[in-house]
Structure formats: C-alpha cells, structure tokens
Amino acid sequence: MTRPPATPSPLTSPTSTTDAATAGAAPTSTATSTRPLIDITPAITPDIAVWPGDTPLSREVLCEIERGATVTLSTLRATVHLGAHADGANHYGAGAAAIDAMPLERYLGPCHVVRARAERRAGGMRVGIADLEFDPTALRHPRVLIHTGTFPDFTRWNTDFAGLEPALVDLLADRGVTLIGTDTPSVDVQESKDLPAHTRFLARGVSILEGLRLAHVAPGEYELIALPLPLVGFDASPVRAVLRSLA
C-alpha cells in the first residue's frame, strides 16, 4: 500500500498515551466493564443487501442436532464485502495490501463519531468538509466514523447513497486520521467509475470501514473495536464493529 512521507500530526498517534492507555487497560477493569458496548454492525441475515452483482449470503446446513446429529454444522457463502466490513487496499489498488496485511491497530482504539448534512439524491452526493457537523480542528483521535443517513435499511438496496469528497479524505489525512468509516456501502457513489475517494485513500494510506450502523449513535468520542479476519490475500473482511463511550 502506498504511504505518504511521515509528517507531524496534531492527533494522538497509534502509540500515543491515549491509545497506549486503552491497549494497556485490563479487560476486566472497572473502567471498561461499566461502559456498555454499542453494536454498530448490521445483522447478517439472508436478507442483507449486497452490492448489485456481488454474492449474497447463503447458508447450507450440513447436519443438525434437531435431526439427530451430534452437532449442527453449516457452510457459509457470501461476498467478503458483507455488512460492516474493512476493505483491503488491494480492493482498489493493484498490488496493494490485502486485508490480512492491513495494520491491525487501525481497527482498535479511540475514534470520533460525526454526523454529516447529507441527503439522498440521484447519482449520489459527496460529503465534503463543509457538510460535517464537526470542526476538523477539534480532532483528537486517528479514527473518524461518518454518519450520513443515506443508506437507512441494510435489507433494501438504494443506489442514491452518499460518497465522500476526495478533499475530505485529504483533509482528515492531513490531520493524522488513519481510518475513516461510513454508514454506506462505499466511500464512492455507486455510479462512480474512476473511484476518486478510493484513490485518495490509497494515496494517503488511510484505511476504510464501510457498512456501519450509526443511526442510533450520538456524535462523540468512543473506543472502536472492529477487527478484520486475517483472510490471506482477500480484498476485504466482515467485522463485528462495536463502540464504547470514552466519556
């Protein structure tokens, strides 16, 4: 994956005091155990919508306890871009890192959840800097999740969801952001052929999370946990994405 030269960042780095404190905290500590998890993963059912032409979810039950077997055993078939998922850079860049080679620390740690003034429109709008209900100069963490509200039902595909402006990707990268997530199936609009937002993600070395369920999450600062599977050579991985408030 192409990476820009190292530049000073005003944000907390992955090895900063903020992240180090999160990483070093005992899983059973009072501080973490009293903060409930907020699930931001859409339910994975046979009805979940996938990109047109991609492989929908199906389950083949090989044996069942209810039918006299000693165990229940299933086979799953589906696209790896299923529900909440992390993209490998090789999804949009030839020779770039597959999902198993993406930096794992990107998907765990403090983040901002922000809302965008977005709307569904023919061809899809692109969310720009001015559309954020958030001042980018207030960024403190290297992960940003953007709620657009333009893909409201994960079981009903709509083609008019919002993408991201390439300039927004650059601005967030300039401020030290290393992961951007969205509540839509793609950071580009559906009809895009040249994928300008993906191009900037690749050029700036920023990781992508897509398909997040954010409508029930208030804007604020959270701990993100959304680890991808080490699917060697694959272009994406489903994640179980959850948040925990930092307040």
Phi and psi, residue 156, nearest 5°: -130, 110
- Region 203-231: mean pLDDT is 98
Q: Could you read off the pLDDT of 60-90 as tens digits, one per residue?
A: 999 999 999 999 999 999 999 999 999 999 9
The beta strands (E) that lie in 108-219 are given as 108-115, 126-127, 143-147, 163-164, 179-182, 207-210
* Cα separation, 38 vs 56, whole angstroms: 26
Q: What is the mean pLDDT of the chain?
A: 90
* Cα separation, 182 vs 208, whole angstroms: 8
Percentage of residues in the chain having pLDDT higher than 70: 87
CA gyration radius, the chain:
18
pTM of the entire predicted model: 0.86
Q: Could you read off the pLDDT of 139-169 as tens digits, one per residue?
A: 999 999 999 999 999 999 999 999 999 999 9
Instruction: Establish whether 85 is a catalytic residue.
Output: no
Q: Which of the residues 81, 85, 91, 147 is marked catalytic?
A: 91
Furthest-apart CA pair in the chain: how many Å?
Answer: 63
Domains of the chain and any CATH numbers: 17-245 (3.50.30.50)
The CA-CA-CA angle for residues 228, 230, 232, to 5°, reads 130
